[in-house]
Amino acid sequence: MARILLIDDDDAVRTVVRLTLEHFGHTVTGARNGREGLELFDQIKVDLLITDIVMPEKEGLELLMELRKKKTAVKIIAISGGGRQGGADYLRIAKLMGATQVLTKPFSNAALMAVINEVLPGEGAGKNAVNR
């Protein structure tokens, strides 16, 4: 299973996504913003980074830019609220900036695991697959 770095400033979103991912056997490390996430990324080995776009201290787009400047090949899923503050526009930009995949909030566990299965074939839902 995958080692995932989850970056989101919303404690509730971070908790629900972490619990879902852990249910499917993944190891999850959480961060509250892009600055904290970037520090953790430099300290731990991850297979996948899931990041919100709109956050304090360092937004997801800034994080994407810095990671891609480092030429890192880590898979990145960008998440953002579709109707809030131009979330869909942010996700389009994130994809152009190198996000492997994007996901609009709110999303179901099935949608999250489908995207992870697409990004990390064979490591997503595993034996506990969500019914789709």
Domain definitions of the chain by residue range: 3-120
Count CB atoms within 10 A of the CB of residue 36.
16
What share of the chain has pLDDT > 70, as a percent?
Answer: 89
Q: Quick one: how far is CA 108 from the chain centroid?
A: 14
Q: Within 13 Å and on the Cβ side, how many CA atoms surround 42? A: 9
Query: Two tokens at 127?
Result: 């034996």
Q: What is the pLDDT of residues 82-129, one digit of tens each?
A: 655 556 789 999 999 999 999 999 999 999 999 999 999 977 654 444
Tokens 């430099």 identify what position? 42
Give pLDDT, residue 22.
97
How high is the pLDDT of residue 84? 56
Looking at residue 127, its pLDDT comes to 40
User: For position 122, what pLDDT does the model report?
Assistant: 79
Q: Does domain 3-120 have CATH number 3.40.50.2300?
A: yes
- pTM score: 0.89
Encode pLDDT of 50-64 as tens digits: 999 999 889 999 999
> What tokens does 20 get?
């879902």
Residue from 29, 83, 92, 108 nearest 60 by CA: 92
